[in-house]
Amino acid sequence: MRFNKLKISSDASSRLRSIRQRTGLTPNLLCRIAIMLSLEEGPAASLAPDDQGQEFNAYTLTGEYNALIASLLRFVEEDEAGAGPLDDDRL
């Protein structure tokens, strides 16, 4: 799985802006934390995609751990959900 850009929802962008103002952490660091927390919570329950928010370069968020994060995402979304393999676009 290869991706260059990641988009977040407009609601997530708003929340990110609010948390950034309160904590002083950069949006990239906050998104990394959010990715790890979402993996811990388990598979997403068929959410309607909303990519009207902020856009990030994938390498900025994942760095050298791009393959690891993609593998963890695939593991959580496919194996724990009991669903079959997901295509790259859906994942």
Residues 37-72 have pLDDT tens digits of: 888 888 776 666 677 888 888 888 888 888 888 888
Q: CA of 49: how far to CAs of 10, 26, 66, in Å? A: 11, 24, 21
* Listed range (9-13, 44-48, 74-78) with the worst mean pLDDT: 44-48
Is 3.40.50.300 the CATH number for 5-80? no
- Per domain, the residue ranges of the chain are 5-80
Q: Contact at 8 Å (CB) between 74 and 86?
A: yes
Its sign, for the CA torsion 17, 18, 23, 24, is positive
Residue with structure tokens 């407009």? 10
